[in-house]
């Protein structure tokens, strides 16, 4: 099977890190197609970056489906553009935020999210609410690390994240930790061993969930909320294959 993973930002080194993590998680016979949004911001930190990333992200996803991807992963913990992506693609789509949170509920009754900057905390809380997972989340904590700092000094970043995990376990009663950024993918195993709790990262979680969806033959529903957008003359051209056929007049 083929699964695409799309980095909504334009930082090539982060795309390569994400692709490596996805390929390490993938089962034998799963091909990972990695893409990035070259028109997007260099990192996604807050509502504005997320909004700016969506058009290029949707274009990259359309290319991925044209290239034969049967399911898709949005590699931003904010789940940037997720609802729109489900409306324009046939295959199932998940963001790494939702994937990691759902995976955490399989191994713990209460989990905490440790993310980057505090500007992301309300976004993640809203996403958990929409996914029906907020009651299972003990806390969403910011480490106050900019996204690109994860690559600039990984050892320092890991120490900062570790300290926040310790506080989540001691103060919030977290039984598992979800790492709240795609750039944290390489830290999960060491942090789990250090703190003695499951530490879940979203890239591998999303890949495994999409492998299951493809194996079950699932497609995204095209009735109701995820119906394809109708063709409109508003000065915006949807990428090919991303709109419903216009209805003919009676």
Measured distance CA(173)–CA(136) in Å, rounded: 11
Q: What is the pLDDT of residue 250?
A: 37
Q: What is the pLDDT of residue 233?
A: 57
- The number of helix segments (H) and strand segments (E) in the chain equals 9, 8
Q: What is the pLDDT of residue 245?
A: 43
Q: What is the pLDDT of residue 246?
A: 40
**And the tokens for 162?**
């570790």
Q: What is the pTM of this model?
A: 0.90
Q: In the CATH scheme, what is the code of domain 2-96+205-226?
A: 3.40.50.12500
User: What averages of pLDDT result for each successive group of 10 residues across the chain (250 residues)?
Assistant: 96 92 96 95 94 94 94 97 94 97 97 95 96 96 89 90 96 97 90 97 97 97 88 56 44
Q: What is the pLDDT of residue 9?
A: 94
Q: What is the pLDDT of residue 160?
A: 94
Region of residue 100 (phi > 0: left; psi between -120 and 50: alpha; otherwise: beta): alpha
User: Please, are residues 5 and 34 in contact by the beta-carbon 8 Å criterion?
Assistant: yes
User: Please, are residues 111 and 197 in contact by the beta-carbon 8 Å criterion?
Assistant: no
Question: What sign does the dihedral 42-18-189-101 (CA atoms) show?
Answer: positive
Judge if 2-96+205-226 and 98-202 fold alike in CATH terms.
Answer: yes
Q: What is the pLDDT of residue 249?
A: 40
Domain 98-202 adopts which CATH fold? Rossmann fold (3.40.50)
Strands 2-7 and 71-74: parallel
Measured distance CA(32)–CA(149) in Å, rounded: 26
Measured distance CA(20)–CA(26) in Å, rounded: 10
Q: What is the pLDDT of residue 232?
A: 66
Q: What is the pLDDT of residue 239?
A: 55
Q: Where are the domains of the chain?
A: 2-96+205-226, 98-202
């Amino acid at each position: 099977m083929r699964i695409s993973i799309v980095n909504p930002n334009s930082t090539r080194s982060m795309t390569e890190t994400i692709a490596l993590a996805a390929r390490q998680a993938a089962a034998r016979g799963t091909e990972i197609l990695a893409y990035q949004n070259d028109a997007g911001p260099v990192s996604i930190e807050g509502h504005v970056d997320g909004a700016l990333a969506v058009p290029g992200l949707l274009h990259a996803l359309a290319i991925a489906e044209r290239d034969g991807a049967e399911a898709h992963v949005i590699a931003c913990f904010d789940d940037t553009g997720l609802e729109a992506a489900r409306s324009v693609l046939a295959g199932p789509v998940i963001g790494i935020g939702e994937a990691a949170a759902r995976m955490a509920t399989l191994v713990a009754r209460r989990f905490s999210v440790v993310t980057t900057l505090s500007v992301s905390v309300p976004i993640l809380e809203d996403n958990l609410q929409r996914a029906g997972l907020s009651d299972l989340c003990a806390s969403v904590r910011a480490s106050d690390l900019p996204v690109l700092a994860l690559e600039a000094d990984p050892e320092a970043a890991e120490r900062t994240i570790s300290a926040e995990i310790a506080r989540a376990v001691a103060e919030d009663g977290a039984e598992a930790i979800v790492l709240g950024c795609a750039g944290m993918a390489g830290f999960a195993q060491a942090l789990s061993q250090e703190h003695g709790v499951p530490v879940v990262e979203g890239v591998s979680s999303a890949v495994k969930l999409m492998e299951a969806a493809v194996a079950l033959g699932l497609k995204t529903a095209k009735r109701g909320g995820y119906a394809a957008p109708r063709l409109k003359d508003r000065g915006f051209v949807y990428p090919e294959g991303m709109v419903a056929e216009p209805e003919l007049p009676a």
